[in-house]
Amino acid sequence: MRYVMVSDAGVEKPGVLEGDSILLLVATDLTSVIAEGAEFSGEKIPYVQGDLRPPLRRFRRDILCTGWNYWDHFEESKGKREGQDVERPLHPTFFTKGPDVVIGPYDDIAWDPSISSKWDYEAEVALVIGKTGRNIPVADALSYVWGYTLANDVSQRDLQRAHGGQWLKGKSIDNTMPLGPWIVTADELGDPQDVQLQCLVNGEVRQDASTRQMAFDVATLISELSFGMTLRPGDLLLTGTPAGIGNAREPQVFLQDGDVVVTRSDKLGELRNRVVRG
């Protein structure tokens, strides 16, 4: 199933996409659907792409993220981290983003050159936790996933370097992370290590990789993140970006006002966002 949030008569409502229609649910948002379940309301509305909103917006904690989770991405950035280079990590690298970054699948990315001069794109597969767990074994980890969606972890590279090597600030600028267009349930997606992921800027393919190239697979990410730390329904985890980022290119290339960024996957749909001075 594909779960969505849709704007209907100016009100955001959760539903399930079925062909050219959306079947609305008796719930306020998908966070409550994930945690508590929901019934169909019996109301059906036409599916209009532009009416889709971010599938998740109300979070119980910051957005959870994974860094350096494709070795080709880790290697391409060597010598370009401005004194913050490290050896290959033996465990996944986690960080968080503030929740106000989230925008819809077709919303504008709020670009502001006074905040940063190095706006970068990062296409990612994200997963949504479906049940509470702590110290989750790798063998059981995928059973804790409710579904998968797409995100673009738009980053401000100079802010990443300016705050002691901590990534929170350079990843948490308001209205900069497209999410969606829907959440595909884990049973429909199947193997999360068999997803093709791309990022295009103005029609040019910048990133193109399979999740098979991950340094740490999805089950390992969940297991390691839950070690001593409780994960709860509705938690969102971004799983890392592949090679091709603007900061690692020669010459470097960063997002500019008017650019169109497309994040797409063979199994998860497409985000299409214009970079607009905010």
222 is in which domain, residue-wise?
54-277
Identify whether residues 159 and 199 lie together within a single domain. yes
d(CA 243, CA 90): 19
CB 178 within 8 A of CB 105: yes
Q: What is the CATH number of the domain that holds 190?
A: 3.90.850.10
Identify whether residues 47 and 129 lie together within a single domain. no
Identify whether residues 15 and 81 lie together within a single domain. no
Q: What is the reported pTM?
A: 0.96
Number of domains in the chain: 2
Q: What does DSSP assign to residue 249?
A: S
Identify whether residues 68 and 116 lie together within a single domain. yes
Place of tokens 């998860």: 268
d(CA 55, CA 33): 11
Identify whether residues 144 and 44 lie together within a single domain. no
Average predicted confidence (pLDDT) for the chain = 95
**pLDDT at 80 (0 to 100):** 60
Identify whether residues 41 and 70 lie together within a single domain. no
Is the sign of the CA dihedral 43, 47, 52, 55 positive or negative?
positive
Q: Is the peptide bond before 251 cis (omega within 30 degrees of 0)?
A: yes
Identify whether residues 109 and 239 lie together within a single domain. yes
Identify whether residues 44 and 89 lie together within a single domain. no
Q: Judge whether residue 87 has pLDDT over 70.
A: yes
Q: Of 107-111, 166-170, 219-223, where does mean pLDDT reach its minimum?
A: 166-170
Identify whether residues 35 and 81 lie together within a single domain. no
Identify whether residues 85 and 123 lie together within a single domain. yes
Q: Of 46-50, 68-72, 82-86, 219-223, where does mean pLDDT reach its minimum?
A: 82-86
Identify whether residues 72 and 126 lie together within a single domain. yes
Residue 83 or residue 123, greater confidence? 123
CB 4 within 8 A of CB 186: no
Which whole number is the average pLDDT over 170-175?
97
Which residue type sits at 88? R
- The pLDDT tens digits of the residues spanning 176-200 come to 999 999 999 999 999 999 999 999 9
Identify whether residues 36 and 61 lie together within a single domain. no
